[in-house]
């Protein structure tokens, strides 16, 4: 009898993934961790019954969350990753020869252990790279207490529930701002606007309390249901999102890993910032509500 994993993120729109083999399951940490095999997506990591990443489609999200801010910045030497336990963001960050230090703050060590063991194509040897440093801690507590500053901050969190909820607050964003060097940029997982409209609306409002230039760029990840995901963009340096395709192409060529990518191109980078009208309307609607409040 075929077994299925049923995702519980969006009550009105659930996805089911065929589960041909359960590789790991545990509820002993901060979240229930499940790793299983699926004929289409390869190996799947789910936390608290929500798909986090799969070996089949991880490249879309990890490439767009990493190379967009780092190539736009152009001179990033230090990167802070909040969450990111599967090591995908860390691996892509460390592809950049200019990055000298990548600090990853992950609350759940089991996620790291399980992706190293069952999903090595996602993390590669990132966890062994001397330029990387993994800290097991609550990312919210880390940025509140951190003294170190970074050129780029990537918030690769779960959705706003469980331990991830603190990574969607104005206080967290303000503390991240304090950890950002002048001219730096932060990007955040900001949900799928079609089925989680309040996530992108709240991110816009709350990022706007700490940053001058806040917008979203879009990417469609097959296992994140209900369509395009909004990736939050927050900086005081509004020039960063105006970098043209020519310069991004030069930077990618100089970095020397363009042929290793499967989704990111300088043209996709620029196009991703063309915000669809339904998302603009969501943000206009919530701006009116916040102004009236
Ligand atoms: N790409 C996925 C998405 O868009 O939902 C996220 C993947 S990554 C596995 C999410 C990571 O955030 C998990 O490993 C989880 O343990 C971690 N996380 C959740 N809350 C956290 C917190 N407060 N501090 C640090 N890491 C946290």
**Mean pLDDT, residues 167-182 taken together:** 98
Averaged pLDDT, 223-237: 97
> Could you tell me what percent of the chain has a pLDDT over 90?
93
Which of 8, 10, 27, 164 best tests ligand 1's pocket when mutated (most atoms within 8 Å of CB)? Answer: 164
pLDDT band of residue 72 (cuts 50, 70, 90) is very high
Catalytic residue of the set 86, 156, 159, 206: 156
Residues with CB under 6 A from ligand 1: 31, 47, 52-53, 61, 82-86, 105-108, 111, 138-140, 156-159, 163-164, 166-167, 189
156 catalytically annotated: yes
- The stretch 74-81 carries a mean pLDDT of 98
In this model, does residue 285 exceed pLDDT 90? Answer: no
What pLDDT score was predicted for residue 146?
95
pLDDT in tens, 134-163: 999 999 999 999 999 999 999 999 999 889
Whether pLDDT at 292 is above 70: no
Per-residue pLDDT at 74 exceeds 70 = yes
Query: Taking the C-alpha atoms of 236, 148, 104 and 184 in order, what is their torsion angle to the nearest 10 degrees?
Result: 20
The residue whose CB lies within 8 Å of the most ligand 1 atoms, and thus the one to mutate among 46, 50, 83, is 83
Q: Give the residue extent of every domain in the chain.
A: 3-54, 58-292
Domain 3-54: what homologous superfamily?
Spermidine synthase, tetramerisation domain (2.30.140.10)
Average pLDDT of the chain, as a whole number: 96
Q: Topology of 58-292 in CATH? A: Rossmann fold (3.40.50)
pLDDT in tens, 80-90: 999 999 999 99
Q: What is the 3-state secondary structure (H, E, C) of the chain?
A: CCCEEECCCCCCCCCEEECCEEEEEECCCCCCEEEEEECCCEEEEEECCEEEEECCCHHHHHHHHHHHHHHHHCCCCEEEEEECCCCHHHHHHCCCCCCCEEEEEECCHHHHHHHHHHCHHHHCCHHHCCCEEEEECCHHHHHHHCCCCEEEEEEECCCCCHHHHHHHCHHHHHHHHHCEEEEEEEEEECCCCCCCHHHHHHHHHHHCCCCCEEEEEEECCCCCCCCCEEEEEEECCHHHHHCCHHHHHHHHHHHCCHHHCCCCCHHHHHHHCCCCHHHHHHHHHHHHHHHHC
Q: Locate the ligand 1 atom nearest the alpha carbon of residue 139 and give its number.
A: 24
Q: Mean pLDDT across the stretch 190-203?
A: 96
Q: Judge whether residue 200 has pLDDT over 90.
A: yes
Among 256, 231, 221, 210, which Cα is nearest to 71's? 256
Does 98 have pLDDT greater than 70? yes
pLDDT tens digits, one per residue of 108-131: 999 999 999 999 999 999 999 999
More confident residue, 61 or 285: 61
Q: Whose CA is nearest to atom 14 of ligand 1?
A: 85
From the list 107, 105, 89, 231, the residue with the least C-alpha distance to 163 is 107
Minimal-distance CA residue to ligand 1 atom 21 = 164
């Amino acid at each position: 009898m075929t077994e299925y994993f049923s995702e519980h993120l969006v009550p009105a729109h659930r996805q089911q993934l065929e589960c041909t083999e359960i590789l790991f399951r545990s509820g002993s940490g901060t979240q229930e961790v499940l790793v299983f095999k699926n004929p289409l997506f390869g190996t799947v990591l789910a936390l608290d019954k929500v798909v986090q990443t799969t070996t089949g489609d991880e490249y879309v999200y990890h490439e767009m969350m990493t190379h967009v801010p780092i190539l736009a910045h152009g001179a990033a030497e230090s990167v802070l990753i909040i969450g990111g336990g599967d090591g995908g963001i860390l691996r892509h960050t460390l592809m950049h020869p200019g990055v000298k230090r990548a600090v990853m703050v992950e609350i759940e060590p089991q996620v790291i252990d399980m992706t190293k063991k069952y999903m090595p194509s996602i993390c590669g040897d990132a966890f062994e790279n001397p330029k990387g440093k993994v800290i097991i801690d609550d990312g919210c507590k880390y940025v509140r207490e951190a003294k170190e500053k970074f050129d780029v901050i990537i918030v690769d969190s779960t959705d706003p529930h469980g331990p991830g909820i603190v990574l969607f607050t104005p206080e967290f964003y303000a503390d991240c701002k304090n950890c950002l060097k002048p001219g730096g940029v932060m990007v955040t997982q900001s949900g799928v606007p079609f089925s989680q409209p309040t996530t992108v609306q709240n991110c816009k409002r709350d990022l706007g309390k700490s940053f001058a230039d806040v917008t979203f760029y879009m990417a469609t990840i097959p296992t994140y249901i209900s369509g395009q995901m909004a990736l939050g963009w927050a900086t005081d340096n509004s020039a960063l999102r105006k970098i043209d395709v020519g310069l991004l192409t030069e930077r990618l060529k100089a970095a020397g890993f363009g042929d290793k990518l499967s989704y990111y191109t300088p043209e996709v980078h620029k196009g991703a910032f063309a915000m669809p009208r339904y998302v603009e309307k969501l943000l206009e609607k919530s701006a009116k509500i916040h102004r009236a409040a």
